[in-house]
Amino acid sequence: MKRVISLSFLSIVFVAGTFAQSLDEGKKFMYYERFNSAKDVFQKLGTAKPTDAEAAYWLGQAYLGLEDVANAKKTYQAAMASNPTAPLLLAGMGQIQLMEGDATGARNNFEMAVNNTKSKDIEVLHAVGRANVNTKAGDANYAIMQMMKATALKGFKDPALWVTIADAHRKNINGGDAILALKNALLLNPGYAAAKYKEGVIYESQKNREFFLPAYEEAVKIDPAYGPAQYALYRYWYFRDVTKAEGYLNGFIAAIDPDPQNDYYRIDLKYASQKYADAISMSDELITKVGAGAMKPRIYRLKAYSYYRLGDMANAKASIDEFMKKSKPEDIVAKDYELLGDIMAGTYGSESQSYAFYEKAMQTDTSAENKAEYLQKAADFAKKQKDKVATAYWLQKQYDTKKNPSNVDLYSLGRAYMDAGSISFASYAKADSVFAIYTNKYPAQHFGYYWRGRANWSIDTTMAGGLANPHFEKFIELAVPILASKDSNEIKGPIKIAYKYLVGYNVVVKKDNKSALEFCEKVLAIDPADAQALEYKRALTGGKQSSGPAPGTTSAPGSKPATGSKPATTGKPSGGGAPKKK
């Protein structure tokens, strides 16, 4: 009997030891982000021991790693049916509730999990922190508070928890504290590759190549089997050095779970090598091999880029549409909308549709630098299309997003509205508003006053309201002294336009031919051969007028005077040249 009991006891010990070993094996797969392998381990453990809450918790986490929220939820619900107050399961279900938008229910479960263990279970505190860090609706501060409790418990020595704390700080956009947390992880375990990799992630978000690249390289050196670091280096070298990229890609594929869809990465490298036709044909082969229903949507995005590079806009559009149709909303990124914009810009007859996609890219991207790039692309395309209204629209958006716009930015925006006025009359008023800001910010510069005069002349076409008068007069006050300088050639044209406006105003509105003649003489003092001024002078002095229009009508907006009073759209702008950046 004693022998039987002894053998039974040994059997129990053996099973428990095997279970613990297998649980650790599954967690190790989770660390390496080999979620399929982890899932297989935890499923077997669950079958062997259906009531084990820890195995069920980690099975749910493996499903979440595979982006299978439905099966994660089913796993937690099934386990909680027989063990409703298990702290790890409460934390797991709280994570699902956060993903479903039930923040209140999630917090209740987290609090119950923490209280049931009296804040003394490291695994539970970590699970609560993990749930809040890895969900969009999670509370990073709450996660940090709970996990910091664990670091103070006796016997704490888990570098993984410090990495999750770092992720929480990163979620709060607090890179400094995140780096400190990662340093703590490496103090506990200098060979913890995930901590060094996460350092690289933080420094890369800051575009600090001097630090992020060595961090990724060190992570691979510490542990070549750590796939995320291999992938980060593959991605970095992707467009810089295809040979290096391929080496890291091989390391990445060797580190991750086998899957026919891994062929995607090798196809992607064909794209980076500019072998676009090969990328397309290999993509089609992979879709056939895996099955269109099972294939991840990203393959269609790859095809879209490849077709775009080949100039096949029709197939590029069809492919990116297929990608968007098959993808989850959260998997569609700003660059996808940018690609759609580029495709529309390259499709004859659909060019104007590109603007909406560039704007969508701008709205989707959180990076100020990327937003600026999309805006610049849209503005440049509008200029290329000679779409004056769109050009003004995009330059306005650019101006609005700049923290410290320059005088040149302001001037360019005003000029764009002046150009757009020939199509959209309301743009003249916008131009006046922009140049009003210019004169307020730069009162000593003549540019703003000149263009306020031009804008108001375009609004007050009969000159009856004299709207342009004060602006042209101030412009003349500031600009005439420049005539004596070496830069006088650029200012002569605008001064002549201002004088001619005053010729017309005095003739048409004030009926003051004497004053009109005086301004006529001012034009001729600058340019004795000015044909319009000579014609006006003959008319004003009783001489015979040639076939030209009467004074005051030649220079009205809508006509095209010899001096070029309409806003210049090419070459150096009329107005004394563009201002230099202040």
Q: What is the pLDDT of residues 473-515, one digit of tens each?
A: 999 999 999 888 866 788 999 999 999 999 999 999 999 999 9
CA atoms within 13 A on the CB side of 548: 22
Torsion angles phi and psi, residue 557, rounded to 5: -55, 140
Residue 88 has a pLDDT of 98
Q: Please tell me the least confidently modeled range out of 344-353, 434-443, 566-575.
A: 566-575
Average pLDDT (112-118) is 97
**pLDDT greater than 60 at residue 371:** yes
pLDDT at 293 over 80: yes
Alpha carbon distance 127, 110 (integer Å): 9
Query: pLDDT-based confidence at 102, cuts 50/70/90?
Result: very high
Cβ neighbours of residue 230 under 8 Å, at least 6 residues apart? Answer: 220, 224, 248, 249, 251, 252, 255
- What residues contact residue 427 under an 8 Å CB cut-off, 6+ apart? 389, 392, 417, 418, 420, 421
Measured distance CA(355)–CA(340) in Å, rounded = 10
CA distance 406 to 412: 10
Q: What is the mean pLDDT of residues 119-133?
A: 98
Higher per-residue confidence, 553 vs 576: 576
Residue-averaged pLDDT of the chain: 90
Instruction: Give the per-residue pLDDT at 494.
Output: 95
For the residues 551-557, what does the mean pLDDT come to?
41
User: According to the model, what pLDDT value does residue 582 have?
Assistant: 65
pLDDT of residue 257: 96
- What are φ and ψ of residue 559, in 5° steps? -95, 175
User: Could you tell me which CATH number the domain at 403-582 has?
Assistant: 1.25.40.10
